[in-house]
């Protein structure tokens, strides 16, 4: 059993099935809502959501398709997808980093010895926005990171207008990020991952 399937807060959200008549055969259906780590097979769905979410706002994507596949091959356990009836509706992709501050290398590298999770991207499908799904997915992801004993903190870089959203998720501003993409400048934010022993005792980790 994978770590993610053992955590109560990452198990599927099942809706109570409607009552059926005794003579009606039982149909097998996908869970109404499911959270799981992503795989390389999810890369195209991830990229389609990311491209639509970011291109119109920033003009570029945090990760291109080959980079998504790269991270989902190297560290799929640091990703999380939200699926509704088998369809990807939101995702987070992360990798490990081993420096105090993010640098340009952090955009493409995974450092297996690192204790910092660099969150590359969080995006929600356009038809599922304005429903709080981004906040819920981030909460579940951060709770999941608490069960990984090697993780000490999570960091991300975002444009200034997104800092209120991440503040509400528990992140704190660290200052201007050293990384730039074209003319875009970013703010670096951090979330301390604490309580490993407590979470492992109380969540089945």
Task: Please list the active-site residues.
Answer: 95, 109, 120, 122, 166
Q: Considering just the CA atoms, what is the radius of gyration of the chain in Å?
A: 18
Measured between its terminal Cα atoms, the distance across the chain in Å is 11
- The pair of three-digit structure tokens given for residue 46, joined into one six-digit string: 């991830």
- The pair of three-digit structure tokens given for residue 42, joined into one six-digit string: 């999810």
Segment 55-63 long-range contacts (CB within 8 Å, at least 24 positions apart): 58/159, 58/184, 59/182, 60/181, 60/182, 60/184, 61/121, 62/107, 62/120, 62/121, 63/93, 63/120, 63/121
Cβ(84)–Cβ(131) under 8 Å? no
**Beta-strand relationship, 116-124 and 153-158:** parallel
């Amino acid at each position: 059993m994978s770590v993610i399937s053992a955590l109560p807060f990452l198990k599927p959200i099942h809706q109570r099935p409607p009552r059926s008549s005794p003579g009606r055969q039982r149909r097998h259906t996908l869970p109404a809502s499911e959270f799981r780590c992503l795989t390389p097979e999810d890369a195209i769905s991830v990229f389609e959501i990311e491209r639509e979410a970011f291109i119109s706002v920033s003009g570029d994507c945090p990760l291109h398709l080959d980079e998504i596949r790269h991270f989902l091959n190297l560290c799929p356990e640091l990703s999380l997808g939200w699926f509704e009836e088998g369809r990807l509706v939101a995702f987070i992709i992360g990798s490990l980093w081993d420096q105090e501050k993010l640098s340009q290398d952090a955009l493409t590298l995974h450092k297996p010895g690192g204790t910092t999770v660099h969150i590359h991207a969080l995006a929600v499908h356009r038809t599922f926005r304005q429903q709080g799904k981004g906040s819920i997915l981030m909460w579940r992801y951060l709770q999941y990171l608490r069960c990984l004993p090697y993780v000490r903190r999570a960091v991300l870089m975002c444009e200034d207008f997104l800092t209120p959203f991440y503040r509400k998720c528990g992140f704190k501003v660290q200052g201007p990020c050293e990384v730039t993409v074209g003319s875009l400048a970013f703010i670096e934010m951090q979330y301390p991952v604490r309580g490993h022993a407590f979470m492992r005792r109380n969540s089945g980790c």
